[in-house]
Amino acid sequence: MLSHCWKEDRGIIFIMDSHRIWGLVCCAFLLAGLMGNAGSVPNVNISAPAFEPGNPMPAKSAYKKQNISPELRIGNIPTSAKSLVLIVDDNDAPMGLWTHWLVWNLPANTTVIPEGKLPLGAIQGKNSFGNTRYDGPAPPSGTHRYFFHLYALDTTLSLPSGADSKALLAAMEGHVVGTGETFGVYSAH
């Protein structure tokens, strides 16, 4: 369906249907967003060899299975970084955001967080289960997304072990020099 007629140029009338106009508008916003982020914090790389972004996490990572944190690989850390923070959460939880893992003061030169382990010096906070550790996916129903957020900071944090996400986010404020994320999914069985 033709819905919009643009200007006449040298005797040619440019006519576009609503789908093409919508596509152009979306592209314009995407480009504007990318250009608007040019001066923001750099992207850091985080990946999990056990699952591609958006694909299922292994059963051994689930809370009701072996509850083992997946291996994570990290790269492209800004040279100004003094430490890293890892936050794992579920945005699809029925009660709202559910935190599965809080880790801070990871050394800035960390390139691998081994499966089920943390580098020396890393500190863990209290998750939404009330535990100071990794607790994996545990969706009550359906399929949930589990985001692994990585933050590079220009400082180390003086938070005690067991601090909650609110305290962690407050301590991080104004110190983030790079960010990255990946996510996996897990379905209720």
Write out pLDDT tens, residues 72-127: 999 999 999 999 999 999 999 999 999 999 999 999 999 999 999 999 999 999 99
Tell me the pLDDT tens digit for each residue of 42-59.
799 999 999 999 999 999
Q: Give the integer Cα–Cα distance in Å for 152 and 107.
A: 10
30 token code pair: 């995407």
Tokens 């007629």 belong to residue: 5
Cα separation, 169 vs 161, in Å, equals 14
Round to whole Å and give the CA distance between 124 and 115: 15
Please give the Cα distance from 137 to 88 (Å, whole number): 10
